[in-house]
Amino acid sequence: MKLQKKYLAIKLNKECDNMIETLVLVEGKIDYNILKLELLKNSIIITLDFHSHKSLSEKKITHNFVEDYFNEKDKKQIDDLALNLGTNWYKDKTIEKILKYNELNLGTLLELEMPSYFFNHLKRIMGIRKIIEKENPKKIISYSLNNYIKSICKNYDIDLVLLKNNTSSNLFFDKIEIPLNLGFTSRKIKLSRKNYFRLKKTVDNISNLIWNTNADIKLIKDKKSIIIFDFHTINYKDLIKTLSSNSKNIIILNQRKPAIWNLESLNIIKNSKCKILSLEDFKNKNIKIKINKEKEILEKKLDELWKKDDVMEKIFSLNNESFWEIIKEDFTQIIKKRLTESIERFNLLKELFDKIIISVILDWAHVAMEEKELVHMANKKDIPIFSLQHGIMTLNSSLEKYLPLMPVLPSNNAKMLVWGKTMESYLSDHNVSSTDVKIIGSPRHDRFFKRRNETTNNLTILIASNNLFHVNFNGNETQAYQNLEDYIKNILKFIKLNTNKKPIIKLHSSEYFNIAPIINKIDQKIPIYQHEDLLPILETCDSLISLNYSTILVDGLILKKPTMVILPEKQNFEQEEIIKKGAVAVVSNKIELETKLNDFLCNKQFRENLISNGENFVDEYFSFQGNSSKILSKFLVNINKN
């Protein structure tokens, strides 16, 4: 009989006094056919995430949050340990020896994604332990937390009722969302990495067959090439157009996003000299054999490593108690899948570098896995790498410990190309050599600057969703997500009751928390956009409200739009320069929302002050306004000119 259809009771061996009768621990969206409502009666119910909180709230079932059982010291401990594990677990001498490949410890490739992975496990483990210590239950009913409950409760005399199997843990980029809008179809698809790469290959082949968009290796191999890596075609169309006017090959090598996903992106590629290149283009029979052999070697080494429980238990422990047996199954699968995938890319990258003359590489996210692989291989060939600032960076001191996870400081011999003196000064203050930094302006904003004096006002209020900083405790709290939902509801209510303006919604390109269902529940007529070009939406709106700290704030300021930022989580964003200088209105407390919205939307003088402060901030933050693509193109073309 399936586990979901019968209760598994486990008697454990420790007598406890002053027990509560039943404790119910739930995580994820709840299927009430499995978690029957009668099980919840006369119990203390505790949710471990926002989805379970929402499921219970909709049924009007009283419950506590796991966060209620943590103090500030506990939160800091989890944040620090998650970051430490994510950036150091692979440095153990035994592990390092096994993960060494191509003169690189493969564990370094996953530094961006692993801290949030460990955070989620640590929050569950410490949370369950603290709940049990405080509540001292006779029985625990577990929904989606079976492995944790069984492991943590093995030294207690507690009846366990284990319902839904554990939800598997994933890394951030294990699922990739792609938009498809080629005229005959328009839809958003979220795929596993494996299926994404398959679909990307198919789409690339189709577009090449019809429109000749792909690079022909035979035709480009004898001329120097500039590679731009994982760039958003529409955001950087000015740069693509400008680069196309020079004599070098311009190659887009995208791994985590398609270069073509709608008619506009297709036309940009068609009307430029830019060509799309895929690592799949370098596969042949011999390379496949080599890749498979090297994958088998790594898999055997990993299988031996996972047997070394003494090593792994020592590394993966919290307060001197190992949690290795809890994470072992999904951790080993994730590492095996990702690192064997990496071996394939390394072999294909070698073929690329051997067959194409590359003069320079431009990327924007040098901390991600694919970028680290590319940079490592480029360093072997002494190919210059430049990382272009792609957004407004998070620079407040409380988040500095996360700098290794953010594409702020240059690393691995890459040099930084920044938007202006603000970032140049920040890097200088962090001991980055002036030779590793160059002010280049922002190519993605050239078209914004060219349109800044031609915008209109159609009386719409653009509300832009943005992700929370989900690597630490404050960015994962149930209350932060609840705050976000409350803000959305109250903003829409205020607009409807107090203005003649209409809301429109712009979802983030990679939604970590999808607000669309909230919007649709309030009013299905409110327009919702996600992958459409932002500029035409933003340049016609009356005002911009960003639902967290994000680059869209400067997008709005460039276009002289009154701009507000809502801060649902406690990340000290109030100390960011754009807020300190009064360039945007800020709300970080739900009590002040109505008053500030009234000023923001209805007070003419308040709005004019915001626009003025915004213009001052933009002038300080951006150099080469409207001309950055030309500056950058000339710079890239002249590298290794001879």
For 492-512, how does the pLDDT look when each residue is reduced to its tens digit (9 = 90+)?
999 999 999 999 999 987 666
Average pLDDT of the chain?
Answer: 91
**CA–CA gap between residue 125 and residue 149 (Å, rounded):** 9
pLDDT at 641 > cutoff 80: no
Band of pLDDT at residue 184, cut at 50, 70 and 90: very low
Say if residues 593 and 573 touch (Cβ distance below 8 Å): no
Q: How does DSSP assign 152-209, residue by residue? A: HTTTS--EEEE-SPPPPP--GGGEEEEEEESSS-EEEEEEEHHHHHHHHHHHHHHHHH
For 399-437, how does the pLDDT look when each residue is reduced to its tens digit (9 = 90+)?
999 999 999 999 999 999 999 999 999 999 999 999 999
- Return the SS3 of 547: strand
* Across 74-102, average pLDDT: 97
Residue type, 532: E
Say if residues 48 and 124 touch (Cβ distance below 8 Å): yes
**CA–CA gap between residue 229 and residue 522 (Å, rounded):** 40
In this structure, how many other beta carbons lie within 10 angstroms of the beta carbon of residue 436?
15
- Return the SS3 of 474: coil
- Return the SS3 of 94: helix
Specify the pTM.
0.91
Query: What is the percent of the chain where pLDDT is above 90?
Result: 81
- Return the SS3 of 147: helix
Say how many Å lie between the first and final Cα of the chain, rounded: 72
Length of the chain: 642
Burial 448-463 (b: 16+ CB within 10 A, else e): bbebbeebeeeebbbb
**CA–CA gap between residue 209 and residue 270 (Å, rounded):** 13
pLDDT at residue 489, rounded to an integer: 97
Same fold? 3-86+112-167, 173-284+343-442+627-638: yes
pLDDT at residue 155, rounded to an integer: 86
Strand order in the sheet with 8-10: 8-10, 159-162, 137-143, 20-26, 44-47, 64-65
**CA–CA gap between residue 69 and residue 568 (Å, rounded):** 21
Cβ-based neighbours of 260, under 8 Å, separated by 6 or more:
203, 204, 207, 213, 233, 266, 269, 276
Residue 186 CA from chain centroid, whole number: 24
pLDDT at 7 > cutoff 60: no
- CA-CA distances (angstroms) from residue 432 to 265, 366, 409, 632? 36, 16, 8, 21
The answer to whether domain 173-284+343-442+627-638 has CATH 3.40.50.2000 is: yes
Q: For 448-621, which CATH class? A: alpha beta
For 568-599, how does the pLDDT look when each residue is reduced to its tens digit (9 = 90+)?
999 999 999 999 999 999 999 999 999 999 99
Say if residues 268 and 252 touch (Cβ distance below 8 Å): no
For 523-564, how does the pLDDT look when each residue is reduced to its tens digit (9 = 90+)?
999 999 988 899 999 999 999 999 999 999 999 999 999 999
For 459-493, how does the pLDDT look when each residue is reduced to its tens digit (9 = 90+)?
999 999 998 998 999 999 999 999 999 999 999 99
Say if residues 468 and 479 touch (Cβ distance below 8 Å): no
Alpha helices in 499-539 (DSSP H): 516-522, 534-538
Domain ranges of the chain: 3-86+112-167, 173-284+343-442+627-638, 448-621
Determine which of 76-90, 206-220, 521-535 has the lowest per-residue pLDDT on average: 206-220
Residue type, 560: K
pLDDT at residue 617, rounded to an integer: 98
Burial of 604 (0-12, 13-18, 19+ CB in 10 A): exposed
Q: For 3-86+112-167, which CATH class? A: alpha beta
Band of pLDDT at residue 39, cut at 50, 70 and 90: confident
